[in-house]
Amino acid sequence: MTAIQHRVSGLLRVLKTQGTAGVATAVAKRLVNRINEHVDLAAAELPVRPEDLADSSALPPATARTAGGRKLRIGWVCAPPSAGSGGHTTLFRMVEIAEQRGHECTLFLYDKNSDDVSRHEAVIREHWKNLKAGVHSATAGMAGMDAVVASSWGAAHVVAMRAPKTASRFYFIQDFEPYFYPRGALYSFAEDTYRFGFTNIALGEMIATRLRTEVGIEPDAVVPFGCDDVEYRLLPRDASASPRSGVVYYAKRNVDRRGYLLARLALEEFHGEHPDQEIHVVGDRISNWSIPVNNHGSLTPRDLNVLYNRTVAGLALSFTNISLVPEELMAAGNVPVMNDHEFSRAVLNAPHAIWAKPTPRAIARALSNAVTAPDIDGRARLLSAPGGRGWTTTAVLVSQTIEAVCADPGTSRPEAWVLEPHK
């Protein structure tokens, strides 16, 4: 049998046992293997240009100048955003509060493939209309900044290599990003950023604990996770309104830490037990599921809030730091169903949320318990009770950290502010 005949025979066996989807997967794997022979995929996944990859053991000591007692010029370094990006939305909330406190803010976008960020600025102006900050390319320089804030591990490398030596350097850490990768080079490059000597501001206790246990450093500030309690809230219901029904899932197909495959299997099993409960999918549009779903695609926060208000439960999985979704669901009176893990519990203390083992059957059972519970409207009121979940406290603490360090960058850092998880 020739090599070609052998391959054809193998594909026919896959077709017989796994169908066309199995054949497509097999062909894709072979294509990836062929690409691997000629392309360094790890280098391709590196979020920075090779010349912008820093090394904590080779960085010169900081020489930041004092810049207290006046309006600060603060640069915020990030990757170009896409519409609906939760990480960018959180970062931009920090920027907005800094602007409200009188500071002059600039966004420095880092696109490793281009120095032209004009198309990215258009996205920002369309989807984050309250942001006044100027938008420039990080590769064009950050001269004149009193403070520069990294917002991801890639941005931290850029700040280490490109920020002015006279600027105080900060790292707003929204997740423990080494966990995005298997143990290897990318993991190490991400982990090394916490040793760059920046003022590390941890968003939530999960990150603070990981920095202590995995890296052996103490964060300089720990600020609380918040929730957009302006857009997400319990809407009034009159007596003629239809009762809450169905469940909603925020899909991120290519972000494995958000558990897409697990969610799909769980929802397919849930549908078998509750075919009367409509399944709504938002975020990424999905296809080839074995069950009917209502594909909404990307929705505005206002439309999401309406959907959350008319459904019973929301599936919100995360295997690193908790996502924004659980608290937004609760603000709308929708019960979040989450994978039970110490990372999420470190941030969210919610007695009316539902935690499940990360298996399809356990999650399907948790969703079933949510939609069959008595007094769903009463539980919705308990879930949405105000608990100080807004982002203002978080953003003010971030600004205060920047202000304190800039006022005295050479001799001291502020004591870490630590707030308890939401009750």
The predicted-structure confidence for 352-406, as pLDDT tens digits, reads as follows 899 999 999 999 999 999 999 999 999 999 999 876 678 999 999 999 999 999 9
**Same-domain check for residues 193 and 275:** no
List % helix, strand, coil for the chain (3-state, nearest 5): 45, 15, 40
314: in domain: yes
253 plus 219 within the same structural domain: no
- What is d(CA 248, CA 267) in angstroms, rounded to the nearest whole number? 10
On whether both 207 and 140 belong to a single domain, the answer is yes
96 and 159 share a domain?
A: yes
Residue whose entry in the numeric block shows the structure tokens 């640069």: 75
Q: How far apart are CA 190 and CA 180, in angstroms?
A: 9
The two tokens of residue 267 are: 């929802």
CATH number of the structural domain spanning residue 127? 3.40.50.11090
Residue 240 is assigned to a structural domain of this protein: no
CA distance 235 to 391: 20
Question: Which is nearest to 336 in space by CA: 409, 413, 263?
Answer: 263
Residue in 328, 316, 347, 335 with CA at minimum distance from that of residue 390: 328
Residue type present at position 295: N
Give the number of domains in the chain: 2
Q: What is the pLDDT of residues 210-264, one digit of tens each?
A: 999 999 999 999 999 899 989 999 999 887 788 999 999 999 999 999 999 999 9
Closest listed residue to residue 130, CA positions, set 311, 422, 395, 342: 395
In a domain, 417, yes or no: no
DSSP calls for 64-88: PPP--SS--EEEEEEPPP-TT-HHH
Same domain, 256 and 134: no
Same domain, 74 and 163: yes
Residues 403, 378 share a domain: no
Per DSSP, the three-state class of 366 is helix
CATH of the domain at 256: 3.40.50.2000
Spell out the per-residue pLDDT of the chain, length 423, in tens.
Answer: 665 656 666 657 767 777 675 656 666 566 645 544 544 555 778 999 999 999 999 998 878 888 876 899 999 999 999 988 889 999 999 999 999 999 999 999 999 999 999 999 999 999 999 999 999 999 999 999 999 999 999 999 999 999 999 999 999 999 999 999 999 999 999 999 999 999 999 999 999 999 999 999 999 999 998 999 899 999 998 877 889 999 999 999 999 999 999 999 999 999 999 999 999 999 999 999 999 999 999 999 999 999 999 999 999 999 999 999 999 999 999 999 999 999 888 888 888 899 999 999 999 999 999 999 999 999 999 999 876 678 999 999 999 999 999 998 865 454 444 444 433
Exposure letters 38-67 (e unless 16+ CB within 10 A, then b): eeeeeeeebbbeeebbbeeeeeeebebeeb
The structure's pTM equals 0.86
Does some domain include residue 63? yes
Same domain, 115 and 154: yes
Residue 403 and residue 361 share a domain: no
Residue 176 belongs to what domain range? 50-226+392-407
Same domain as 116, residue 160: yes
Any domain includes 6: no
Beta bridge partners, 411, equal none
pLDDT given at position 1: 60
CB 82, CB 154: distance < 8 Å: no
Looking at the structure, do residues 74 and 157 belong to the same domain, yes or no? Answer: yes
β-sheet bridge partners, residue 168:
147
